[in-house]
Amino acid sequence: MKLEQGLIYIKDVVGGSENAVKDGVLTVDVEGLKAHLLEDPKVKAVEVDFAKPGDHTRIVPVKDVIEPRFNFDRVNGFPGMTVKYNECGNGRVNVLRGAAVVTIGDAVGFQEGVIDMWGEGALWTPFSKTYNIVVDITPIDGVDPHEHETIVRMAGLRAGTYVGLAAENATVDEVKTWELGPMKEEAEKYPDLPKVAYVQMTISQGLLHDVYMYGVDVKEIIPTWFHPNEELDSAIVSGNCVAACDKITTYQHQTNPLTEDLYEQHGKTINYIGNILSPELTTLDGKFRNCDYTAKLCEQLGADGVIVSEEGYGNPDSDLVMICKRLETRGIKTALVTDECSGWDGTSQPLTDTAPEAVAVVSSGNVSKVVELEPADKVLGNLKAAETVAGGWAGCVGEDGSLKVELNAVIGATSEIGYHNASVKLY
């Protein structure tokens, strides 16, 4: 597969009467975007605003983040979701790099999350650096929680596609090419390099805990090999809206840094043999089946080494170490990427499960670390929603509009695919 991404670097975003890019400034047809989303009869109202790096603006509660793009060689949109199925991973796509569609709306249950564009909060979220088109979506009255989330999710994807129309005729600043042939061909090119696979665990546990691949709810499938270009070309969509810190937004799937880093090393230090999507289920039988199947796939692919990234924490920690144990038992070297839930003082047990084989572990931070965020000049959404997100609590919103929350509440703060601002200090 060969995917060419035409990167258009966005330096500002403004409202206007058309979707266009000129000299790095993205213009969004705000009224056109609203009208487009209101074509769905289940969408009652839409509001659009902008949040830029350095603005004293707080966005809460965030549902998803989407990178706007325009596809030239397949139907434009998200296959299996907003458009009929088309294979992703080949052809040309223009990307509005630095722009992001951020969806917000009424919370359903305990739901994320916070993005601050300035100050202490901005240090913890990567989306303080993007030029955000914030879309506030209100479904019609009387829908149940599942339908509510579907309406908002689909509206966000449609908004990302609509804004992405600006990329069609824009001047491209850089072209990135992602190309990986069949495994047999790549093995013949690099016979002396270790074959490395990437196992991507995805939350798959029901309402607010879902991920979709080509429109398929991944909790309905067994672990599946896929070409890394497919994820980079928008085949995977987030439906996970609980712990903001380590959910993988649709934007982060589209730009997965672990996939990009493995690509960078392909043909140099490793032979990259692709990705495996491994659903995280709640039933014990489901966990055994998926972990066994994941390890079997890696072995049958001939992997010498595997990187495993988690999404979420708690019961998925068991899936993580179970996969590790099964891989190491098969003689496959395994490295894990996870965050920790170590309590406010950092002294609690970091994972809910352990295995002696888990000797190579990368931590992306402690989800329970408490941060204090100063009042915003402008709030997009509902500030009181911070009290009902994971990492917030009754009374965490100060009378002056300040917040005291765990990193749990901050979008992307401890992303387990490495798409975050935190770093590790060695002593």
Please tell me the distance from the alpha carbon of residue 386 to that of residue 130, in angstroms, as a whole number. 22
Residue 348 lies in a domain: yes
Residue 422 lies in a domain: no
Q: In the chain, how many domains are there? A: 1
Residue 417 lies in a domain: no
Residue 350 pLDDT: 87
Please tell me the distance from the alpha carbon of residue 343 to that of residue 351, in angstroms, as a whole number. 11
Q: Is the peptide bond before 391 cis (omega within 30 degrees of 0)?
A: no
Provide the terminal-to-terminal Cα distance of the chain, rounded to the nearest Å.
Answer: 43
Per-10-residue mean pLDDT, the chain, length 427:
98 97 98 98 97 98 96 96 96 98 86 93 97 97 91 96 97 98 93 97 87 95 97 95 89 97 97 97 94 98 97 92 97 95 88 91 92 97 92 95 96 90 65
Q: Which of 306, 280, 264 is nearest to 211 (CA)?
A: 280
Residue 414 lies in a domain: no
Residue 425 lies in a domain: no
Residue 427 pLDDT: 54
Residue 426 pLDDT: 58
Secondary structure (DSSP) of 341-401: ---TTS-S-SSS---TT---EEEEEETT-EEEEPPPSEEEE-GGGGGGSTT--TT-B-TTS
Contact present, 227 and 178 (Cβ < 8 Å): no
Residue 13 lies in a domain: yes
Q: Looking at the annotation, which residues are catalytic?
A: 241
Residue 206 pLDDT: 81
Indicate the length of the chain as a whole number.
427
Residue 12 pLDDT: 98
Q: Which of 389, 417, 322 is nearest to 110 (CA)?
A: 389
Q: Which of 192, 215, 217 is nearest to 203 (CA)?
A: 217
Amino acid in position 251: Y
Residue 252 lies in a domain: yes
Domain interval for residue 207: 2-409
Q: Which of 151, 160, 135, 138 is nearest to 76 (CA)?
A: 160
Residue 347 lies in a domain: yes
